[in-house]
Chain A
Amino acid sequence: MLARTAFNLYWLARYLQRCELTARMLSIQVETLVDKPIAEILFGWERLYRSLERDIPQWQTQDSNEDELPSSDSLTLCDDLTFSTVNPDSAWACFVRVRENARQVRYCITEEVWSSINLTYLEYRDKTILDVWESSPQFFYRDFARDIQSIEGVAEATMYRDDGWFFYQLGGIIEQAQQLCSMLLSQHELLLSHRRLSTSTWVSLLRCYYAKETYEHVYGMTIDPRSAFNLLVFDSRLPCSLNALLKKLQATISDLGEAPNLVALQQIRSAMFSLATQVSHISSGFKASLESLQSAQNIFTQIHEDIFNAWIGYTVEEAPVN
């Protein structure tokens, strides 16, 4: 497969994941606006912004009565994370890039994948935050996330399992893993100053990763932060746990086999070994967990760069000739 095309597919999947997670998190966050305490709402916004490594836009609540959260603030934040063209990580900005990447590789994805992406684009392209706000924002985000999940499902069901598919997989895995590390780090850091919010924020976090029902089946109805953390990190039966993602990454790299740049490929293999070690250290105490999570996140970033070096940006001199 053409290297540039493979990289387009990689980024298509990354943006798709980013967009879906943002929509999903917003869906859960706007629900809290209805009946949750202000502190929990603020916690949700801060966690969301921290996980995206973005500064929270200036809002009025700091100067106003703490018991009242002007809805205009939430609208501003929703707009920033949903439709903003200034924020490159807003859900819509990500989706536009999904479509742009798909447009460039249309001949390598199935007609069904392209149609799903294009029809979703057409459905949402004229919407504004006011349209969303005037109806029920949680339904909008839920539907948007569901439409993106449909695209992922169509891709899963129809795409040929060649290099293109593997790069599409890799993009999704790296994005999810980085996001999960980032989210868990944000959760940990914020809880240091908001200990009384612990349980409810873990519930919303589990929901972000489709893990609340699973948690209840496995651990019962009482939310224990350590158990929730274990589920999201170690339980490889949960498809988006860190361990499951690591296993998928190892399998996909193995499926891809050799790379034109063997040095970079060896670095990826070493990094995956190192990741497995880091993940196993995460449970050994709170401080160590944070450090290991941070370390795991850095390794994922390094793997992202090495994937580029191994298969895409290799030098002509070192490349095998077919």
Chain B
Amino acid sequence: MFDSDGRPHVHTRRFYEVLERADTTVLDNIQTRVSRSFLDQGISFTLYDDKEMSERMIPIDCIPRIIPSWEWNELDIGLTQRLKALNAFLDDVYHEGNILKDQVIPIDLVRGCPAYKVEMRGINIPNRTWVSICGTDIVRTNDGFLVLEDNLRVPSGVSYMIANRNAVKAHFPRAYRNHRVHEVSQYGEFLHRTLLEMAPEGVTNPVIAVLTPGVFNSAFYEHMFLADELGADLVEGQDLVIKDGYVYARTTRGLQKIDVIYRRVDDEFLDPLVFRQDSMLGVPGLLHAFKLGRVSVVNAPGVGVADDKSIYTYVPEMIRYYLGQEPKLQNVETYLCRRARDLEYTLDNLSKLVVKPVGESGGFGLTIGPDASPAELQECETNLRENPRNYISQPTLEFSKSPCLIDSKPEPRHVDLRPFILHGRETRLVPGAFCRVALKEGSRVVNSSQGGGGKDLWVLRE
């Protein structure tokens, strides 16, 4: 909201005045009502701890983050470019593997990645779109926007983008109108059109279903929300059967053919005949139907190889290789600890770096050097020496903060944003994002499973 001199940016000045005019009681009331609206609507996520699961509300901050249209346009162009390159990469590594033959990316890095699925080799995907829904995590630093990671497997959070918007605009109606904010409510329609474009060849009126692991999954609310937005059934593995190579849902009228599955189940659990045999969440024979081209699974299994934290380092190279362009959005400088010199640098600078295990997500397994205790640093060093291939490191970023209402007054907190990019035959991007906040003072971890919250992102019209 503020520039380096502590003055509000031009595009945030008007909202800053709203905050200045409002007394703390008014803001407190708004914050309470916004939080209460989430509770009343049962907008929740499920958190697993050691012994049990509990239904939690994601904390939402009522003060929106605001960005001008020209900044969004930059993001739009960069994200579209990035997803195009990632799809080209996936189609390549599961077919000819030219990028590997040309040694742009080390072959062992790709083929040795646990998310690389041999079973997907040679499969032709509609429109060559392996990733139809991408949630890219972005932070802003003094050097501009940087991509933290591309979430390609089952990116979540879009329901909160819409829920945050509905809650915040209802409580700042005048400010919302005066700011001329881009809507985000068209996401459902965009997603629907994207999934229709992903239908198997020759299917004219495709039937879509959203595949969920079930009510105990942490993102179940979102799965339900998406099914509602799409007017589709929310199916579990037990609801689907394979018959004559086609996928059917068990309905009250018999078997209903399903053409497009928007899956929110991880690769490993999708099909017990191919992946984990003990999976109760998947559909036996699903991959076979997929290979026959009788059903589309979105995002395609095996896309995780492109959002692996080691492969992430090479996304700028992918953009140059496939598109012949310079990346519009930059990566965070990353050290691959599998390389001897990167490992040495990481070990020498452990207290300044963030060390991430390549196979984890949700902020788990991170060591944030400046915040870590000597014992934690020692443990991290031991892990790095034992299995360097499992880690990357990055500089600790000074990324942007946004005011959040903490104890009745606006306090700066670190924020990132996760826009959702859709691609079937064409790319669609709703001007908005799930904006995540590290609500703990000084924290840089924005993940909801680790004390993070959310806030609305207002993208202003020109």
Contact = CB atoms under 8 A, between A and B. Distances in A.
Interface stretch (A28-36, A113-121, A138-146, A208-216): A113-121
Contacts of B238: 4
Given A100-B215, A122-B39, A322-B256, A1 B251 contact: yes
Contact of A104 (B41, B215, B251): B215
B252 A167 contact: yes
Nearest to A256: B252
A250 B251 CA distance: 22
A163 B255 CA distance: 15
A221 B252 CA distance: 48
A321 interface: yes
A103 B254 contact: no
Given A5-B233, A107-B224, A322 B40 contact: no
Contacts of A260: 252-254
B208 to A, nearest CB: 13
A6 interface: yes
Contact of A2 (B224, B241, B251): B251
B239 A321 contact: no
A288 interface: no
A106 interface: yes
Contact of A322 (B225, B227, B251): B251
Given A2-B233, A5-B233, A106-B224, A316 B241 contact: yes
B253 A320 contact: yes
A312 B238 CA distance: 12
A4 B236 contact: yes
Contacts of B439: none
Interface stretch (B242-250, B273-281, B309-317): B242-250
Contacts, number: 82
Contacts of B239: 2-4
A119 B41 CA distance: 8
Contacts of A3: 239, 250-252
Interface string B199-243: 000000000000000010000100011011000011110110101
A72 B250 CA distance: 51
Best-buried of A4, A122, A163, A167 by chain B (most CB within 10 Å) = A4
B250 A2 contact: yes
B257 interface: yes
Contacts of B255: 316, 319-322
Contact of B227 (A107, A115, A316, A319): A107
B36 to A, nearest CB: 10
A311 interface: yes
B106 interface: no
B363 interface: no
A312 B251 CA distance: 7
Contact of A163 (B228, B235, B252, B257): B252
Contacts of B252: 1-3, 6, 163, 167, 256, 259-260, 311-312
B362 interface: no
Nearest to A319: B254
Contacts of B236: 4
B42 interface: yes
Interface in A76-113: 100, 103-104, 106-107
A209 to B, nearest CB: 31
Best-buried of A2, A104, A319, A321 by chain B (most CB within 10 Å) = A2
Nearest to A162: B252
Contacts of A2: 233-235, 239, 249-252
Contacts of B234: 2, 5, 107
B294 to A, nearest CB: 14
Contacts of A4: 236, 238-239, 250
Interface string A306-317: 000001101010
A3 B254 CA distance: 9
B215 A118 contact: no
A100 B214 CA distance: 12
Contacts of B225: 107
A322 B42 contact: no
Contacts of B227: 107
Given A4-B236, A106-B228, A322 B254 contact: yes
Contact of A321 (B39, B228, B235, B254): B254
Contacts of A258: 253
A322 to B, nearest CB: 5
B228 A107 contact: yes
Contacts of B253: 1, 163, 258, 260, 320, 322
Contacts of B39: 122
Best-buried of B224, B225, B238, B243 by chain A (most CB within 10 Å) = B224
Best-buried of B220, B233, B236 by chain A (most CB within 10 Å) = B233
Contacts of B220: 103
Best-buried of B233, B235, B248, B254 by chain A (most CB within 10 Å) = B254
Contacts of A104: 215, 224
Contacts of B254: 260, 314, 319-322
A80 B187 CA distance: 47
Contacts of B233: 2, 5
A4 to B, nearest CB: 6
A118 B221 CA distance: 14
B40 A119 contact: yes
A103 B42 contact: yes
- Rank and list the top 8 A-B pairs by shortest CB-CB distance, nearest first: A107-B228, A320-B254, A319-B254, A118-B42, A260-B254, A3-B250, A311-B252, A107-B227
9 contacts: A1-B253, A2-B234, A2-B251, A4-B250, A104-B215, A104-B224, A122-B40, A314-B250, A319-B254
Interface of A: 1-6, 100, 103-104, 106-107, 114-115, 118-119, 122, 163, 167, 256, 258-260, 311-312, 314, 316, 319-322
Given A114-B42, A314-B254, 7 more contacts: A1-B251, A106-B42, A114-B41, A260-B252, A260-B253, A320-B255, A322-B256
Interface of B: 39-42, 215, 220, 224-225, 227-228, 233-236, 238-239, 241, 243, 248-257
